[in-house]
Amino acid sequence: MPYRVTFVCTGNICRSPMAESVLRHHVEEEGLDVEVDSSGTGGWHVGDDADHRTIAALRQAGYRSAHAARQFETAWFGHYDLILALDEGHLRELRALAPDQEARGKIRLLREFDPAAGDDLDVPDPYYGSPADFEHVLELVEAAMPGLLEEIRTALKDG
């Protein structure tokens, strides 16, 4: 059975689809048995593509993006091995939705996997910003990938 990872942000059009594309790229390159997707805490953009600035930042960095926004559902806690919130607000919302302690234990912040992050574990929302803000988000996502991939490799080995 594959290891299942999902990223969660607000509307599922900026940060979480970006993180999804980056992780998917890395697990495919390594041939890891991992399913990757994303969703949002809100349903405003359900069915929409990723924000055009997200797509542009991903393409500029050599990543692919195929995405349709969706809203996280409580029933999904049983499906995922790791649920990665993009900021503290998402973390709180997901913990409030979690049906039990086991589900809460699956929720982490993406930047926990970046040793250089220090106490600043939020990935800022670039929605109201410029293309440079989207590029900054991509840098933060990429900085967390080595640690996240190590976590996934360990889970697959131990699993």
Q: Which residues are catalytic?
A: 9, 15, 125
Give CA torsion, residues 75, 125, 82, 88, to 10 deg: -90
87 and 9 Cβ atoms separated by less than 8 Å? yes
Distances (CA, A) of 54 to 22, 23, 63, 113, 129: 12, 15, 11, 22, 12
Dihedral pair phi/psi, residue 30, rounded to 5°: -85, -10
- How many C-alpha atoms does 22 have within 13 Å on its Cβ side? 26
